[in-house]
Structure 1
Amino acid sequence: MRHALTQSLPNVTIIDAASFDEAKVVVDRLGTADLVILDLNMPGMNGFTGLAAMRAAHPLVPVAMVSATTDETVMRRAIEFGAAGFIPKSAPLETIAEAIGQILEGQVWLPPAAVYGGTEAGTSRQEIAKRLRELTPQQLKVLSMMSQGLLNKQIAFELTVGEATVKAHVTAILKKLGVHSRTQAVIAARLLDMKTAE
């Protein structure tokens, strides 16, 4: 990870921490950081509790998770808990560098397989973008509001439509994107930093 960072960011300053508590003390002392990288299995993490605690204490600091796991469910859960990315340790050096670069630019990064699961593990970002382009303007608005965490009832109120209409849009969005849950749809949108024209 250090090698990937120094290779992609020549003037980077890296501060190591041996545990979550130590990492939090460092960020608390600095007041901010361009990026915090947490290992899912580092001492003190307690699953995603550490991630949630870091996000609560420093909501403006992007947090990337790294782990030896390639479990797609775990990766998606990390994004749900506020991670800006999940980088498998087994990823090639150039992929790690690309992931860090995108996270620093404000995007969310996940291996495409983590969005679509094992049945479509080869799905590329280009394919995700193609599927997003198939959404109607109204479906894009609904997806954008889903990305903001709004419930169907809230989306219906914002768009002045019935809740049944929103449910129909959500069903169509999931079908067009080839995903099985709202979370997967939101991750697909965030992966491409989806912008919806107002």
Structure 2
Amino acid sequence: MRHVFIVADDHPLFRGALKEILSSRPDGAEIVEAADFDEAAAALAANPDADLMLLDLAMPGTSGLTGLALLRADHPTVPIAIVSATEEAGVIARALDLGAAGFIPKSAGFEEIRRAIAALLSGETWLPADFVLGERADPETADLIQRIRTLTPQQTRVLTMLARGLLNKQIAYELGISEATIKAHVSAVLTKLGVDSRTQAVIRLSKLGLDPERGITAG
């Protein structure tokens, strides 16, 4: 069966390496490339039945785990595996908590990446061989992750833009909806996060590494 893959990474050489690995699969592969977050989101929207997305943590348009949170909210059925130069246990654990199907280090060799992709296509979770899963998250972080999961896709988009410091008018323009609707979304987001202001929401996100300005930015 021919699989559909989305490769989202802003480094052309690494995208090329992943394409070579995927193209060598015996069952063939249709590969959609994305060089920034907007292209990644558009690729998922155009291929909602994709078998797997390989997502870099640091692409233009988003930082850290923000992109993962947003894409998971928009497309909960498509497996998304992180492919990153970051190999910190805390980053891997948070990615898993936010719904990542696996975590492939960019330092992995071609054969290891092939095995990872095969495992992911079989529905398995793939993690670095030396990763030891300890305590997944402290109670505050676990609560925040659970609250983020209650957001609708549109509310997640609004939250991401709030974290970027955009005003209601700017968010309304980017999403193509009325400012009054944005105000309603902002109110709902603050309620679901259990905070009283935008500032508090951004502070909470920064603790999870979702703040685009202060979040995890290693590729």
- The normalised TM-score by structure 1 is 0.56
> Counterparts of 1:15-94 in structure 2 under 5 Å?
15-94=32-111
Paired position in structure 2 for 1:11: 28
Task: Give secondary structure in 1 for the equivalent of 2:83.
Answer: strand
Q: Greater strand share, 1 or 2?
A: 2
Q: String of CA shifts for 1:104-149, please: whole Å, max 9, x gaps.
A: 11111101322258xxxxxxxxxxxxxxxxxxxxxxxxxxxxxxx9
**Which 10-residue stretch deviates more, 8-17 or 60-69?**
8-17
State the Cα distance separating 1:50 from its structure 2 match: 0.7
Q: String of CA shifts for 1:54-84, please: whole Å, max 9, x gaps.
A: 1111111000101112222211211111100
Paired position in structure 2 for 1:2: 19
State the Cα RMSD in Å.
2.0
CA contact (8 A) 1:38 1:64 kept: yes
CA contact (8 A) 1:76 1:115 kept: no
CA contact (8 A) 1:72 1:113 kept: no
**Percentage of identical aligned residues:** 48
CA contact (8 A) 1:32 1:58 kept: no
- Which letter does structure 2 place at the counterpart of 1:44? G
User: Closer, same or farther in 2 for the Cα pair 1:23/1:88, shift >3 Å?
Assistant: same
CA contact (8 A) 2:38 2:61 kept: yes
Structure 2, unmatched stretches of 5+, are 1-17, 135-144, 147-219
Aligned length: 119
Structure 1, unmatched stretches of 5+, are 118-148, 151-198
